[in-house]
Copies of this chain bind each other. A is one copy, B any other.
Amino acid sequence: MSQMQQIHDQLREMILSLEVAPGERLTERWLEGRFGGSRTPVRAALVRLEAEELVRRDGRNWMVAPIELGEIAALAEFREAVESSAVRLACERASEVDIDAVTELLDACEPDAPREEWHRVGTDFHVEVARLSGNEFLIKAVAGAMTRLSRARWLELRTEQSRDHAWAEHRLLLDLIRRREADAAAQAICEHIRDTRDRLLTSLEEDRRSLRARGFAIVGKA
């Protein structure tokens, strides 16, 4: 694999895991030293990450994309559009075995699994459901949206109840798809998305001060 790929993947991981703070400034020379490549692959990686909107230009400089509260509401709206359509198509097209595979994804998450695991599966679930639609554009749109939400979801302090609640919604959704109840499934996912949005916004708004103190740029208002 090329160095550019490696740098891209590593920096991406650092951003998503909040190892580098949202809003933090990045210099090409620091990254050069950090990853041991020269500026050429570093810049290529930055350009790619810019396209994924994980990194942004601030004048002439680079910065890690801040978390924008206003974006979370808009993203929920977008997800409703895309995911409800994906779910409807999934009801028409998904095979039993493919649906079962997604169910197993949920089951694989033990109650005492580490937080990383829950976070990852919570993201992957939506992408995998989108994949049941068979439409590449819907899949990519969902994957992109979940990436954008990833850091906010990580910051959300999740109680065991709210986690169980979300998982119950996931299982309900899969059941509806399996029974090919398109309208109900679409409605279920829309409600789930709105639930998530509300929990995220409440949580971030509450913790905004302390997150700022950790150097995280949480900007805008819901």
Residue ranges of A at the interface with B (Cβ–Cβ < 8 Å)? 40, 43-44, 47-48, 51-52, 71, 74-75, 77-78, 80-82, 84-86, 89, 135-138, 141, 145
Expressed in whole angstroms, the minimum distance between the Cβ of A16 and any Cβ of chain B is 18
Measured between beta carbons, the chain B residues less than 8 angstroms from A75 are 137
Expressed in whole angstroms, the minimum distance between the Cβ of A43 and any Cβ of chain B is 7
Task: Give CA–CA (A51, B136) in the complex, Å.
Answer: 15
Most chain-B CB neighbours within 10 Å: which of A51, A84, A137?
A: A137
Q: Is B141 a contact of A74 with CB atoms below 8 Å?
A: no
Q: Is B44 a contact of A78 with CB atoms below 8 Å?
A: no
Measured between beta carbons, the chain B residues less than 8 angstroms from A52 are 51
Most chain-B CB neighbours within 10 Å: which of A43, A78, A84, A85?
A: A78
Chain A facing B: main interface SS: helix
Task: Give CA–CA (A115, B51) in the complex, Å.
Answer: 31
Q: Is A138 a contact of B77 with CB atoms below 8 Å?
A: yes
Q: Is A135 a contact of B44 with CB atoms below 8 Å?
A: no
Measured between beta carbons, the chain B residues less than 8 angstroms from A80 are 85
Task: Give CA–CA (A52, B141) in the complex, Å.
Answer: 13
Given A43-B44, A47-B47, A48-B47, does the pair A81, B138 have CB atoms closer than 8 Å?
A: yes
Q: Is B141 a contact of A77 with CB atoms below 8 Å?
A: no
Q: Is A137 a contact of B77 with CB atoms below 8 Å?
A: yes
Expressed in whole angstroms, the minimum distance between the Cβ of A82 and any Cβ of chain B is 6
Most chain-B CB neighbours within 10 Å: which of A47, A86, A136?
A: A47
Expressed in whole angstroms, the minimum distance between the Cβ of A131 and any Cβ of chain B is 13
